[in-house]
Amino acid sequence: MSAAVLTATEQKLAQRRTLLVLASATILGGLGVGASLSVGALLLAEVSGSDAISGLASAMFNAGAAVAGIPLAKLAAKRGRRVALVGGSFVAMVGAFVAIFGTVIGQWFVLALGIALLGVASTVQLLSRFAATDLAAPSNRARDLSLVVWSITVGAVVGPNLLAPGAAMGELLGLTPLAGVFVFPIIAQALAVCVNWFGLRPDPLLAARAIAAERGDESASAARQGTAQPDLKVGERTDTGTIVQPRASMRRAQVLTIFSIAMAQAIMVALMAMTPLHLMHHEGTPEIVGFTLSLHIAGMYALSPLFGYLAGRIGSLPTISIGWAVLVVAVVLAALSGSSHTLVQVALTLVGIGWGFVTVAGAALLTAITPSAERPIWQGRSDTFMSAAGAVAGVLSGIIFALGDFTYLAIASGGLLALGAIASLQISATKRRAIQRAETH
């Protein structure tokens, strides 16, 4: 599929329009994600009668996102971002219907399937942040990416507080009160479909490819040199501060970056998944649960522009390091929280902030070190591995919590943190070796 070549002025205008459309659709998508995550664990526990089963809510949500990651990336590579985003939102909307049906017939595995399909909404959000970089100037990629991530804040923060309105909706429709929350994702995803379908014209990825083709065969040149920017030599620094590396080093850096992002996701999901049950076991209320998750999600997204600014200003790797430091504090507080709602809320907020540092800077780094022709596929791989890590963490968090408590879960999360931090250090070592090799030739 071809697209008209944009002039420099048209590209800037198209990028602004793209950011506005992506932000609007992502706000709507955030309503669905926030609402389903806040109620999924509680509703699964209610329908199944088992706290251990409740951990499947986050697991299935992230599993659905993981399964959709690469197919949607391939669809984007073939048909453009618009078709992929719209298709993903439609699947998520169907998932909300299935989740409601599962509660009506009282079958927890049908409810879990619905939650998994609804998890594709998370993949759409992840894909949207990468779509924001297609037409962006290299120096603005981290900033534009972070602006779309920030737009998740509105819907995501409101979502967990839809428990009470959802209960009223459930009673009105004759559903289990908590199941009423899933009505909101149906409406939100339908609106997101309309916004992306009519708004993403021109398609940012197809337009960016047309521009690249007009400027020359960038992908072939990049393959020959093993670089993300064919006009630079190995060892030189790009305008985003990334060191151009030999192809083998680039592949290693890509894999390590994806792994680092996945570990941050696993930590976040593990602790967030069991927070509702932990609070309820210590005299919590649905309102306290909703408020705590809102703080957590605000930490994840509200400061995204800061994360993007720092990634562009001081570099992606230093920004990722800041994220790991914040997560260390968060894990320690979670381990010490006990029955204190306040400590849990502070810990979960810091988990969100640390996650934001790592994932925003990590996504910007992955985009910068990957040749443009390969970006959709590597971005899809990152989203898939990120979501898969969250799915596994969701399952294991329920088991660990059932066998121990929130403290044990925090300690296990500390182990994941160590693995992620080591991977980030390895990226720096890979970069140094690439520079040293370049200097000796």
pTM, full prediction = 0.79
DSSP string, 304-325: HHHHHHHHHHT-HHHHHHHHHH
Residues 6+ apart with CB under 8 A from 251: none
Please report whether residue 291 resides in a domain: yes
22-32: b (≥16 Cβ within 10 Å) or e: bbbbbbbbbbb
Q: Would you say 47 and 379 are in contact if contact means Cβ atoms under 8 Å apart?
A: no
Burial class (CB in 10 A: 0-12, 13-18, 19+), 34: buried
pLDDT tens digits, 145-186: 999 989 877 776 676 677 778 778 888 888 887 888 888 889
The mean pLDDT of 13-33, rounded to a whole number, is: 89
Please report whether residue 136 resides in a domain: yes
Please report whether residue 1 resides in a domain: no
366 confidence band (pLDDT: 50, 70, 90)? very high
For 51-114, the three-class secondary structure string (H helix, E strand, C coil) is HHHHCHHHHHHHHHHHHHHHHHHHHHHHHCHHHHHHHHHHHHHHHHHHHHHHHHHCCHHHHHHH
The mean pLDDT of 41-63, rounded to a whole number, is: 79
Please report whether residue 2 resides in a domain: no
- CA-nearest of 159, 155, 177, 190 to 37 is 159
CA separation (Å) from 423 to 204, 261, 270, 321, 345? 32, 10, 20, 11, 28
Please report whether residue 316 resides in a domain: yes
The mean pLDDT of 383-389, rounded to a whole number, is: 90
Q: How many CB atoms lie within 10 A of CB 164?
A: 14
DSSP string, 148-198: HHHHHHHHHHHGGGGHHHHHHHHHHHTS-GGGGGGHHHHHHHHHHHHHHHH
pLDDT tens digits, 305-346: 999 999 989 999 999 999 999 999 999 999 998 888 899 999
DSSP structural state of residue 241: S
pLDDT at residue 387 tops 90: no
191 confidence band (pLDDT: 50, 70, 90)? very high
Find residue 237's DSSP bridge partners: 243
Domain range for 363: 8-439
DSSP string, 394-407: HHHHHHHHHHS-HH
Report pLDDT for 160. 64
| CATH code at position 419 | 1.20.1250.20
Q: How many CB atoms lie within 10 A of CB 285?
A: 12
The mean pLDDT of 45-59, rounded to a whole number, is: 77
Please report whether residue 285 resides in a domain: yes
Q: What Rg do the C-alpha atoms of the chain give, in angstroms? A: 21
Residue 101 CA from chain centroid, whole number: 27
Please report whether residue 3 resides in a domain: no
Q: Name the phi and psi angles at 246, rounded to 5.
A: -60, 155
Q: Domain tally for the chain? A: 1
The mean pLDDT of 221-245, rounded to a whole number, is: 41
How many residues are present in the chain? 441
For the chain, what percent of residues have pLDDT higher than 70? 87
Q: Calculate the average pLDDT of the chain.
A: 84
Report pLDDT for 4. 67
Please report whether residue 108 resides in a domain: yes
